[in-house]
Chains A and B, each alone.
Chain A
Amino acid sequence: MALFNKSSAAQKQLQKKSISDTNLLLSITIIVFFVMYIGAIVFQGSGFLKAQTFFNILNANAPLIIASCGLSIVMITGSIDISVGGVTALVSMCCAVYLDHQGGNVFVSLLIALAIGLGYGLVQGLLIAYLDIQPFIVSLAGMFFARGMTTIVNTNPFNVENKAFVALKETRVIIPGLGSVNKIGKYVDAYVEIGVIVALLIVLILFCVLKWTKLGRSFYAVGGNRQSSLMLGINVKRTRFLAHLFCGVLAGIGGYVYFLHVGSGAASHASGMEMNAIASAIIGGTLLTGGVGNIIGTLFGVLSLSTIQNIVSSAGLDQAWWTGITIAAMLCLFLVIQSIVMARKNRSSLK
């Protein structure tokens, strides 16, 4: 796989000298995803041929898609946030306690989730953008705070039995006809959960925001070069603040979607999610240094990551440790590719 990535990257660069970093990294990701999926169909057969397998990947990863989108925006502005997993756990636990122990209604629990996300975004954004503190330290503290708070709210994991909530959780959206989603031929009566619709909507909205609005373009400008975007009259501090605010709110929504998927509250929920989110954004072609990235790429990043997890587990390596090692290896690979791409770019700009 590694060989293929590198050679395809080199070929692309030869074919089109003018291809931008964003497009290069994006095309690598999409190619990797399709190669992996086709490889899975060829080598592991029937399971991956069903459309439902693909939809299950979407169902299980809708929260991850939402969180990674928020993270991509933050990373495009050249910052980072590792608190998304903690926020997800905190949101699930708070909503679960509210719904089950207080007997609250579903709509208010959604508001709680949004409020937690907004609060996180506000505080972290203020600290990072206006006080100029290292984003990693702030969000590391945020992560530990969220995890600690989750156990303070409630220690023991439990399932939510609120009727209205369970009804919402059980809602399935049937995909009619062969639609655009069915890439692999055979059609089975397929369904997705509500979370997937939310996630895809968010991807669409953010794609438009990043592509065509002034705010979206200023995210890229700030990430690319803070000094010159300041010269261009962009309010750098406000832009960075907004990026973190977006990320916080998206983490809140992602947390709620996660809660909707699992239907329980536990302190160990979404452990390692921040890692998966960062990995998906990186695999999706978002540069850690900022200024380069694409929401569609992030979507494919999540899909590639979960596909490889499915491949690993269906290949019989289903011990827990293989997942961690595979993700780490994949992240490592893509980080190295990025660093090579950046080194090439620097060299060519020096000439």
Chain B
Amino acid sequence: MTQNKKNIFAKISGRQIFIPIAALLLLAVFNLIFDPSFYKIALSANSAGDPVLSGYLITILDYGSELAILAIGMTLVTAASGGQDISVGAAIAIGGSVILRVLCGTDSRPEVLQAPIIVAFLVSCAVCMLFGAFNGVLVAGFKIQPMVATLILFTAGRSIAAWINNNELPVISDPSFGYFGGFIPGIPIPTPFFIAVICMIVMALALKFTNLGLYTQAVGINAGSSRLNGLNPAFIKFLAFVILGLCVAVASLIKVSRISSINYSVIAKDIEMDAILAVALGGNSLSGGKFNMAASILGAYVIQFLTTTLYKFNVKSDALSAYKAIVVIALVVLSAPVVREKISSLWMKMKLRTKEVG
């Protein structure tokens, strides 16, 4: 009986998705002990007079969504190239700036939108994919380490974003633009969550019906042998960066829609850290190879859970990164091969000892 139980436990803990679920449970229990009101969800009217759900859990679903969208792209990039893209925050600033530029035209405070929102979004998609392609060319073509290659855009990105709008801060007064980051009238669940779900479904379909997942993993595990098997590693890596560019465009739409404006130095600040953390928390190896998309997405929501919890305990937003950094270090130390070996050998010793005693 006990043997059987142990087996089940081993099976569960062996699954990759176990890590984010365990972290989620840990956080959930922590909150339950210290303040059960964390889980309260209320239906109240927002400023526009529509009934919407509010509460910490809804906040997590709301703000975790753009992180989840980014985690999708980041997982692919991590798996294919064995490195991470640290320019996503800056790229979101660029994407958002492009959207506002197209919507506003030459006037920074337009009464009516100068172009349909869909056109602005498509232009932003194109621009973000272009910047993704730029990163992709540096990584896949010139074989520069991904993090160093994306460091270029990491520094220049916010400057480019400011340049696109001549350093003005356009404000959009049209209420329909706010739907993407807020609530659609009549639906009490925040829109970003729906957008994230759409992205997840598209990605799931792509992984199910194309060889994208398989090829990405093959390239990540061994680029040389996948080339010998007829794949084009450079193209697969390039593609991963372009897909991340698309995810960035979607996230930037949500981000600018939330405030109907932009602040170049603050928008999506430190989000690259969160996205990498989501991938790491999903149990994916940060040096490339196999990946689990569902675990990454769940990881993203867990990160948002952590952020919201920290906010609730009155941690300042600038100080958040220190706590998250500690979480990252703890995660990578635990998942380091050397540490794992030590732990498993310790485990074996303990087992042997109990057997001897028994």
Which residues from chain A sit less than 8 Å from chain B, CB to CB? 80, 82, 127, 130-134, 136-138, 140-145, 147-149, 151-152, 155, 267, 272, 275, 278, 288, 319-325, 327-329, 331-332, 335-336, 339, 342
Contact A275 B154 (CB under 8 A): yes
The distance in angstroms between the C-alpha atoms of A288 and B338, with both chains bound, is 25
Contact B332 A322 (CB under 8 A): no
> Within 8 Å of chain A (Cβ to Cβ): is B326?
yes
The distance in angstroms between the C-alpha atoms of A140 and B147, with both chains bound, is 10
The 8 residue pairs across chains A and B that have the minimum distance between CB atoms: A148-B322, A328-B156, A321-B159, A324-B159, A145-B325, A144-B321, A151-B318, A339-B142
Contact A325 B163 (CB under 8 A): yes
Contact B148 A80 (CB under 8 A): yes
Q: Which of A143, A145, A339 contacts B143 (CB 8 A)?
A: A339
Q: A130-B338, A327-B155 are known contacts. Are A148 and B286 too (CB-CB below 8 A)? A: no
Contacts of A145 in B (CB 8 A): 321-322, 325-326, 329
Instruction: List 15 A-B pairs, Cβ < 8 Å.
Output: A80-B148, A82-B151, A127-B332, A136-B84, A138-B332, A140-B328, A141-B332, A144-B322, A148-B321, A324-B159, A328-B152, A331-B152, A335-B138, A335-B148, A339-B143
Contacts of B156 in A (CB 8 A): 324-325, 327-329
Q: A144-B322, A148-B323, A324-B156 are known contacts. Are A335 and B338 too (CB-CB below 8 A)? A: no
The distance in angstroms between the C-alpha atoms of A132 and B337, with both chains bound, is 8
Additional A-B contact list (19), CB under 8 Å, known A140-B86, A143-B325, A328-B159: A82-B151, A134-B286, A136-B83, A137-B280, A138-B329, A140-B273, A147-B322, A148-B318, A148-B320, A148-B321, A149-B319, A155-B316, A267-B318, A275-B151, A288-B144, A319-B163, A325-B163, A328-B152, A335-B144
Q: Write the B62-84 contact mask toward A (1 if CB under 8 angstroms, else 0).
A: 00000000000000000000011
The distance in angstroms between the C-alpha atoms of A60 and B325, with both chains bound, is 30
Contact B333 A325 (CB under 8 A): no
Contact B287 A134 (CB under 8 A): yes
> Within 8 Å of chain A (Cβ to Cβ): is B106?
no
Contacts of A331 in B (CB 8 A): 151-152
Contact B326 A319 (CB under 8 A): no
Contact B153 A328 (CB under 8 A): yes
Contacts of B318 in A (CB 8 A): 147-148, 151, 155, 267
CB of B14 to closest CB in A, whole Å: 22
Q: Write the B136-171 contact mask toward A (1 if CB under 8 angstroms, else 0).
A: 001000111101110111111011101100010000
The distance in angstroms between the C-alpha atoms of A332 and B152, with both chains bound, is 7
CB of B136 to closest CB in A, whole Å: 14
Q: Which of A130, A137, A152, A324 contacts B332 (CB 8 A)?
A: A137
The distance in angstroms between the C-alpha atoms of A140 and B276, with both chains bound, is 10
**Secondary structure dominating the interface of B:** helix
Q: A127-B329, A140-B273, A339-B143 are known contacts. Are A325 and B160 too (CB-CB below 8 A)? A: yes
Q: A138-B332, A144-B270, A319-B167 are known contacts. Are A131 and B339 too (CB-CB below 8 A)? A: yes
CB of A273 to closest CB in B, whole Å: 11
Which residues from chain B sit less than 8 Å from chain A, CB to CB? 83-84, 86, 138, 142-145, 147-149, 151-156, 158-160, 162-163, 167, 270, 273, 276, 280, 286-287, 316, 318-326, 328-329, 332-333, 336-339
The distance in angstroms between the C-alpha atoms of A331 and B328, with both chains bound, is 28
CB of B96 to closest CB in A, whole Å: 15
Q: Which of A136, A142, A335, A336 contacts B147 (CB 8 A)?
A: A136
The distance in angstroms between the C-alpha atoms of A325 and B164, with both chains bound, is 12
CB of B120 to closest CB in A, whole Å: 22
Most B CB within 10 A of own CB, among A142, A143, A145: A145
The distance in angstroms between the C-alpha atoms of A336 and B139, with both chains bound, is 11
The distance in angstroms between the C-alpha atoms of A145 and B154, with both chains bound, is 18
CB of A168 to closest CB in B, whole Å: 30
| Minimum CB distance partner of B161 in chain A | A321
Contact B142 A152 (CB under 8 A): no
The distance in angstroms between the C-alpha atoms of A319 and B164, with both chains bound, is 13
The distance in angstroms between the C-alpha atoms of A95 and B83, with both chains bound, is 35
Contacts of B276 in A (CB 8 A): 137, 140
Contacts of A321 in B (CB 8 A): 158-160, 162-163, 167
Contacts of B287 in A (CB 8 A): 134
The distance in angstroms between the C-alpha atoms of A160 and B143, with both chains bound, is 46
The distance in angstroms between the C-alpha atoms of A275 and B153, with both chains bound, is 11
Contacts of B84 in A (CB 8 A): 136-137
Contacts of B270 in A (CB 8 A): 144
The distance in angstroms between the C-alpha atoms of A319 and B326, with both chains bound, is 36
Q: Which of B148, B286, B329 contacts A288 (CB 8 A)?
A: B148
Q: Which of A127, A149, A335, A342 contacts B149 (CB 8 A)?
A: A335
The distance in angstroms between the C-alpha atoms of A69 and B132, with both chains bound, is 31
Contacts of A151 in B (CB 8 A): 316, 318-319
Contact A335 B142 (CB under 8 A): yes
Q: Which of B323, B326, B336 contacts A131 (CB 8 A)?
A: B336
CB of A325 to closest CB in B, whole Å: 5
Contacts of B160 in A (CB 8 A): 321, 325
Contacts of A327 in B (CB 8 A): 155-156
The distance in angstroms between the C-alpha atoms of A8 and B241, with both chains bound, is 33
The distance in angstroms between the C-alpha atoms of A155 and B322, with both chains bound, is 14
Contacts of B153 in A (CB 8 A): 328
Contacts of B149 in A (CB 8 A): 335
Contacts of A80 in B (CB 8 A): 145, 147-148
Contacts of B167 in A (CB 8 A): 319, 321
Contacts of B163 in A (CB 8 A): 319, 321, 325
Q: A136-B83, A275-B154, A331-B152 are known contacts. Are A320 and B329 too (CB-CB below 8 A)? A: no
Contact B148 A324 (CB under 8 A): no
Contacts of B280 in A (CB 8 A): 137
The distance in angstroms between the C-alpha atoms of A152 and B318, with both chains bound, is 8
Q: A324-B159, A335-B149, A339-B142 are known contacts. Are A144 and B338 too (CB-CB below 8 A)? A: no
Contact A332 B138 (CB under 8 A): yes
Most B CB within 10 A of own CB, among A131, A132, A133: A133
CB of A180 to closest CB in B, whole Å: 34
Q: Which of B144, B319, B329 contacts A141 (CB 8 A)?
A: B329
